[in-house]
Amino acid sequence: MKKMSKQTRKTGSSVSAGISVSWKAIAGAFAILAATGMTVSAFSAQNVSGAKDSLSVVAAIFPAYDWAREVIGDNTETADLTLLLDSGVDLHSYQPTVDDILTISNCDVFIYVGGESDAWVTDALSQAANEDMQVIRLMDVLKDSVKEEELVEGMQAGDDHESDGDSEESAEETPEYDEHVWLSLKNAKILTDAIAQALEEADPDNAEAYSENAKVYMDKLTALDEEYQKAALAGERDTILFADRFPFRYLTDDYDLNYYAAFAGCSAETEASFETILFLAEKADELELPVILTIDGSDQTIAEAVINSTNAKDQKILSMNSMQSITAGDMEDGASYLSVMEENLEVLKEALS
Ligand SMILES: [Zn+2]
């Protein structure tokens, strides 16, 4: 009996399977690093010999990459910037490759979120060849303004606690912090400032330029933040509804907006229960919402089910981009943190109209 239930749980939980694969990949990468100890020392020797005198900056996620890009500005000859997650893999299921780990190991400035999804970073950093590396953990920069994930009425509780591999007791005691800190323009300003300070310290020769670029960019963030505030005040309503996961808590809190959603944060759940769909449909009717929201990467199944269960049945499905799977191609097409947040603002205006 015991054996069977264990087996069922193993096959039933894709998340736990994903995590074990990811750790295997990392372990494999370290094994290769250890086996080719030469490679690492060869890399470091290259750095020391001065073959490379530009500053190497690596960002794990797109928003941090884009903020660093703004701070570096025209100084692309003195600083080179790499985005780790540029293949469109959702950041919650990202697994570093051997190349990624080498890239991190040799960089001068490394920027990452520090949430549950990038727990692999700790191990990657312990292998770092560059002892003077500046590491920016965004959640540390924000300190007490990091929020815990919140379960609002109607939201389906995720089961991702269970699949952490922790004992259930300890998992319940640990608060789950919401790692989507970049979805607040106010946070973006604080984080850009922190990135600028790290770059100034790592590359004093260009400190003035970094500081100036950061100032110009932070003014743009402030201006867009004000646009959001205006839109929130001008809106017909103050509640939005996501028939989806909900990574936008930092944004809705910034402008005192209420929300309903199928799942908290980026819960591993993807299938909404009948109860959840009915709850969201009733709310959409009650509040006469014109828009049902989804996030990037949604197949809209839940949104369609919600609309079909409303009386009105005339809601529009719109998507807000949480920037969790921006690709190199998107960037070539000009995607930037600001451009995505501007598009999100237009969607928000319609949802509040
Ligand atoms: Zn997420």
Instruction: List pLDDT tens digits, range 261-280.
Output: 999 888 777 789 999 999 99
Express as a percent the part of the chain with pLDDT over 90. Answer: 64
- Architecture category of domain 235-322 in CATH: 3-Layer(aba) Sandwich (3.40)
Instruction: List pLDDT tens digits, range 51-77.
Output: 457 899 999 999 999 999 999 999 888
Angstrom distance (rounded) from CA 71 to CA 90: 25
Helix H segments across 14-78?
A: 14-35, 37-48, 62-72
Angstrom distance (rounded) from CA 56 to CA 79: 6
Domains of the chain, by residue range, sit at 2-146+178-216, 235-322
Per-residue pLDDT at 20 exceeds 50? no
Nearest CA to 153 among 57, 71, 264? 264
Whole-number Å distance, alpha carbon 9 to ligand 1 midpoint, is 24
Whole-number Å distance, alpha carbon 247 to ligand 1 midpoint, is 5
Tell me the mean pLDDT in the region 148-170: 63
Q: Are 107 and 130 in contact (CB under 8 A)?
A: yes
For residue 184, name the pLDDT band (cuts at 50, 70, 90).
very high
Whole-number Å distance, alpha carbon 48 to ligand 1 midpoint, is 38
Tell me the mean pLDDT in the region 125-152: 92
The answer for 62, left when phi > 0, alpha when psi is -120 to 50, beta otherwise, is alpha
Whole-number Å distance, alpha carbon 267 to ligand 1 midpoint, is 8
Predicted pLDDT at 159: 53
Q: What backbone torsions phi and psi does residue 123 show, to the nearest 5 degrees?
A: -70, -40
For residue 11, name the pLDDT band (cuts at 50, 70, 90).
very low
Whole-number Å distance, alpha carbon 326 to ligand 1 midpoint, is 13
Fold topology of 2-146+178-216: Rossmann fold (3.40.50)
Angstrom distance (rounded) from CA 64 to CA 59: 6
- Cα 280-281-287 angle, rounded to 5 deg: 85
- Do the first three CATH levels of 2-146+178-216 and 235-322 match, i.e. the same topology? yes
Per-residue pLDDT at 344 exceeds 50? yes
Whole-number Å distance, alpha carbon 180 to ligand 1 midpoint, is 6
